[in-house]
A and B are shown apart, each in its own frame.
Chain A
Amino acid sequence: MRNVFIVSKFTALETFKKKAFKITFIILLLLIIIAFNIPNIINLVKNNTDQDDFNETILVIDENNLYEGKLESLNLMQLGYNFEISNQFKDDVLLKEMLLNDEIEAAINVTEDESSIILNYITESIGLTGNILVDGNIFTELYKIVQLEKLGLTDEEIIKINAPIIFEVTELGDGDSGGILAVAMIFSLVLFFAIYYYAYQVSSSITVEKTSRVMDTLVTSTSPKSIVVGKTLGIGFVGLTQVFAIILTSFISYKLFFPSDILNGIIDISNINPVFILVTVIYFILGYTLYAFIYALTGSLVSKPEDVQQAGSLVAIFVLIGFYLAYFSMMNPASSFNTIATMLPLSSPFSVPARYITGAIGLLDLTLSIIILLVSIMLVAYIAIKIYSSASFNYGTKVNFKTMIEMFKQKEN
C-alpha cells in the first residue's frame, strides 16, 4: 500500500510539473473564460457594426411602383440600414459605380412578371458565405399588406391575418424537458472526453517507461500491482483536479460573464444538485478506473510509443460503443437500450449521470449499476496486473491474443 501511494504521488507530481501540462492547462482555462464571453464579444462587435450599418444605404428601385409608396416604411422597421427608395430605372453600369464608390451597400430591383414579384438583389460580391443584408420575407409581408389594404381591410384585420402561429409542446409523462436533456448530454460528453483522455494517459505513461527501459529498474523496486494501481490513482488524481478546475472556472465564468437569459429554454440547470454532482464524480472515478486498467494492459503490451495508438484503438472502440449506447438511450428515453446502457460497465459511466439528472433512473438500478461496475473494475484490474507482470519484459515481439493468454497464465512471485 505504501508503494502504491509513492507511485501515485510521483506520477501526479511529475505530471503537474511538466511544462507542456501547465501551458495546455492554462490555455484551456483561458479558452473556457473566452467561450463564456463569446455572447459579450458578439454584442460588442454587433453594437459597433450596428452603428456603422445605419450609415450604410441599400437602394430599392421600384420602377413600376408595385409597393405603392409603402417601401418607405422599411426605414421605420429599424433593420440596421438606411433604405433609399427610387422609382427610376438604373442600369448595371450606374449601380456598379455606386457600389464601388460606397454610395450604396447593395441595391434591390423590384420587377414583376405574369405570376410573381421579382426582387433582384444586386451587390459587389456575395462572398463565400452568401451574405445578403436584407431578409426577403419583409418584402413579401409588405407586399401582402399593400394587397390587403387594396381590399379595404382595416389595420386590425390585417394584423389578425398576419398573426404568427406558435406551435408548443407539453410533456405530461415521465419524459424530460429539452433543457434538462441538453444538460444531461453536456455532462455525458464531458465524462466521455475526461474518462477517455485520462485513461489513455495511463497507457502512454507505461509505454514511456518501457521504451526508456525504466521498467526493468521499476519492477525490481516494487510489485506490478503497486505500479499499475499507483499510476492509475496518480493520473486519476490529476484528472479529477483538472476536471474540478475546469468545472469551477466554467461555473465562475458563467456567473460573472455569461448573459443569464441567453440559454433560457435551451439549458435547464435547475436539476444540478449536490447528489447529482456526487453521482457524476463517482461515475467519473469508476469509469476512469475501468478504462485506465484496460489502457494499462495495452500500454504494457507495446514496446514503442508509435504502437500505443494502434494498441489503444481497440479500447477507443469500446469507449465509443459505450458512449454511443449512452447517447442513443438518452435520445430514446423509453427504449430498452436504457437498461443495457445503465448496467453495461462500458457505457454506464456515460449513461447513468445523464439518466440521473433527467430523473429516469431509480435507486435500485443505480446501486446495481455501481456494483456491476465495481466488480468489472476488480476483474479487469486482476487481468491487467497479471498480464502487465509478464508483458512489461516483452520488448520487440508483437503480442497476439494467444500470447496474452500465455502471459496471463504465467506464474509470478
Chain B
Amino acid sequence: MILKFKNVSKTYTNKKVVDNISFEINKPCIFGFLGTNGAGKTTSIRMLLGIIKKDTGEITLNDKPITRNNTNCGYMPEERGLYPRITIYNQLMYFSELKGIRKKDADISIKYWLNKLDMMEYINTEAEKLSKGNQQKIQFILAVINNPDLIVLDEPFSGLDPVNTELLKNVILELVKDGKYIIMSSHQMNQIEEFCSDILILDKGKSVLQGNLKEIKDSYEVKVAEIITSENIEKYLKKLNFKDYTNIDNNYTIKIKSKKDGFKIFNLLVKNKIEIIKFELKKPSLHDIFIERVGK
C-alpha cells in the first residue's frame, strides 16, 4: 500500500490553510505529523479522510484517488467526543455498523478491543460516567474497530496516565507489526521521537521539514555538551571562552558550535585532573528542531 500526498492545497475564505504539501508513506510505520496550532494539520487529515475536498493536488492510495467511500480509515480526533448518556457497547456498535461491519462481527470486535484495553468492565456503562482516560481508550477503539489499513491518531496520549500510556503504546506498535499505516499528530515531541520513523512539520500550511527522523537529526551538528563533574569548572569554561552555559550543582549544559569545542573542554578537564562523572555531546532534539523551524 502506498499513500501519496502530491502538491495538495486548500484555501478557506482567501486563506491558504494547506499550501502545496507532498509526502509519501510506502511501508507500515508511524508517520509523525507535526505543526503548531492552526498549521493545517487537521485540514490535511480531513482531506486525507475524504471528509473535505482538496482544491489542488492529488491524494492517492495505491495510485487511486482517495474518497470517503473507497478508503478503509480509522480516525481518533484531537477533540474527544462520545454520546454522554449512551452505553459504551451501544455506541461502539452504532459506529461499527456505520462503518459497514455486520452486527455479529462488530460484537466480536467490540469485546476483543475492550478486553485488550482493560475496559470490559465498562461495557454497559454510560460514557459520561467514565474517566477522561477511559473515554480516550474508547475513542481509540472507535478508530480501530473496523480493522482499518490506515489509522490517523490525533494526540492519542493526551490525558492518559503512565500505565495507560504504556498500554496504548504497545497496542500501537502491535498495529504497525500487523502492517497498519499510522499517521500520528502530537505536540509531545518525545513521543514522536520515540515512535516515528518519518516526520513532516507544517507551519502556516507549508511543509517546513520532512523526511526520515534519524536522517534529519544526523544532518544537524552537535550543539550541546552535558558534563557532570565533582567540582566547579567555570574557570576552565571561561578560559576557553564559553559563556553560554548553565550550572546546577556542577551539572553543566554548555552550548557549543561543534564536536571539536566539546573535545577542547574534555581535554582541558582531563589535563587538570578534574573528576568527570558524565560527558555527553548532544545533537538537537526534535523539540529543538521544531522550535528552530517554526518558533518565532
Chain A interfacial positions (CB closer than 8 Å to B): 2-3, 6-7, 10, 14, 18, 209, 212-223, 226, 390, 393, 406, 410-413
Q: Is the Cβ of B142 less than 8 Å from the Cβ of A217?
A: yes
Q: Does B97 lie at the interface of the complex (its beta carbon under 8 Å from any beta carbon of A)?
A: yes
> Nearest CB to that of A227 among chain B residues?
B98
B contact residues, total (Cβ < 8 Å)? 30
Q: Does B67 contact A (CB under 8 A)?
A: yes
A215 and B81 contact, Cβ closer than 8 Å, known pairs A6-B94, A221-B98, A413-B68: yes
Interface centre among B13, B50, B85, B97 (most CB of A within 10 A): B97
Contact check, A223 vs B68: say whether CB atoms are below 8 A apart.
yes
Contact mask for chain B residues 59-83; partner A; CB cutoff 8 A; 1 contact, 0 none: 0000000011000010101011111
List B77-106 residues whose CB lies under 8 Å from chain A. 77, 79-86, 90, 94-95, 97-100
Residues in B lying within 8 Å of A, measured CB to CB? 13, 46, 49-53, 55, 67-68, 73, 75, 77, 79-86, 90, 94-95, 97-100, 139, 142
A–B complex contacts, Cβ < 8 Å, 15 sampled: A6-B98, A10-B94, A209-B81, A212-B83, A214-B82, A215-B81, A216-B77, A220-B77, A222-B98, A393-B46, A411-B52, A412-B53, A413-B50, A413-B53, A413-B68
Cβ-defined contact, B67 with A413, below 8 A: yes
In the complex, the answer to whether B46 meets A213 with C-beta atoms within 8 Å is: no
Chain B residues within 8 Å of A412, by CB = 51-53
Measured in the bound complex, the distance between the Cα atoms of B90 and A221 in whole Å is 15
CB-nearest residue of chain B relative to A402? Answer: B13
- Whether the pair A217, B84 counts as a contact (CB closer than 8 A) is no
Output the least CB separation between A397 and chain B (Å): 11
Secondary structure dominating the interface of A: helix
Question: How far is B13's CA from A66's CA once the two chains are assembled, in angstroms?
Answer: 92
- A293 nearest CB across to chain B (Å): 21
A214 and B97 form a contact (CB under 8 A): no
A200 CA to B68 CA in the complex, in Å? 30
Q: Tell me which residues across on chain A come within 8 A of B139, comparing CB atoms.
A: 217
Nearest residue (CB) in B for A403 is: B13
- Tell me, in angstroms, the Cα distance from A237 to B284 when the chains sit together: 61
Partner of A220, one of B55, B75, B84: B75
Partner of B52, one of A216, A221, A413: A413
Partner of B77, one of A18, A213, A222, A413: A213
Contact A217 B75 (CB under 8 A): yes
Do A213 and B80 touch across chains, with their CB atoms under 8 A apart? yes
Q: What are the 8 closest A-B residue pairs judged by CB atoms, nearest first?
A: A213-B81, A216-B77, A411-B53, A214-B81, A221-B98, A213-B79, A220-B75, A222-B98
Check A212 against B67 for contact (C-beta < 8 Å): no
Known: A223-B68, A393-B46. A14 touches B98 (CB 8 A): no
Interface contact A7-B98, CB-CB below 8 Å? yes
Contact of B98 among A3, A209, A213 (CB under 8 A): A3
The minimal Cβ–Cβ distance linking B12 to chain A, given in whole angstroms, is: 8
By the criterion CB–CB under 8 Å, are B52 and A217 in contact?
no
Task: Assess the B86–A14 pair: CB atoms within 8 A.
Answer: yes
The docked-state distance in angstroms from the alpha carbon of A14 to that of B83 is 11
Q: What are the residues of chain B within 8 A of A410 when measuring CB–CB?
A: 52
Q: Known: A212-B84, A214-B82, A220-B49. Is A406-B99 also a contact (CB below 8 A)?
A: no
Residues of A within 8 A of B55 (CB): 411
What residues on B are CB-neighbors of A216 within 8 Å? Answer: 75, 77, 79, 81
B81 to chain A, nearest CB (A): 3
Q: Are B95 and A221 in contact (CB under 8 A)?
A: yes
Which residue, B46, B68, B75, B84, has most C-beta atoms of chain A within 10 A? B68
B100: nearest chain-A partner, CB-CB: A2
Contact A413 B51 (CB under 8 A): yes
Question: Who on chain B is nearest to A406 by CB?
Answer: B13
Task: Please measure, in the bound complex, the distance between the C-alpha atom of A412 and the C-alpha atom of B79, giving whole angstroms.
Answer: 22
Most buried by B among A2, A209, A217, A223: A217
In the bound assembly, the distance between CA atoms of A6 and B98 in angstroms comes to 7
Report the separation of the CA atoms of residues A217 and B143 in the bound assembly, to the nearest whole angstrom: 9
Contact B81 A217 (CB under 8 A): yes
Bound-complex Cα distance A393 to B79 (A)? 11
Residues of B within 8 A of A222 (CB): 98
Determine the distance from Cα of A10 to Cα of B46 in the docked complex, in whole angstroms. Answer: 25
B85 — which chain A residues lie within 8 A by C-beta? 18
Q: Is the CB of B99 within 8 A of A212?
A: no
- Interface hub of B75, B94, B98 (most chain A Cβ within 10 A): B98
Does A217 contact B95, Cβ atoms closer than 8 Å? Answer: yes
Q: Which residue of chain B has its CB nearest to the CB of A211?
A: B81
Give chain A residues whose Cβ lies under 8 Å from the Cβ of B95: 217-218, 221
Most buried by B among A6, A221, A410: A221
Which A residues are in CB contact (< 8 Å) with B99? 221
- For the complex, what is the distance from the CA of A10 to the CA of B87, rounded to whole Å? 12
CB-based contact B51/A219 at 8 Å: yes
Residue of B nearest to A395 (CB): B79
B132 → A minimal CB distance (Å): 13
Shortest CB–CB separation between residue A255 and chain B, in angstroms? 39
Taking A6-B98, A14-B83, A413-B51 as given, write out 16 further A-B residue pairs in contact, using a Cβ cutoff of 8 Å, ordered by the A residue number.
Answer: A6-B97, A7-B98, A14-B90, A209-B81, A209-B83, A212-B82, A213-B77, A220-B49, A220-B51, A220-B77, A221-B95, A223-B68, A393-B51, A393-B52, A411-B53, A413-B68
Alpha-carbon gap, A413 to B52, bound state (A): 6
Docked Cα-Cα span, A105 to B139, in Å, equals 75
Find chain A residues with CB under 8 A from B52 CB.
Answer: 390, 393, 410-413
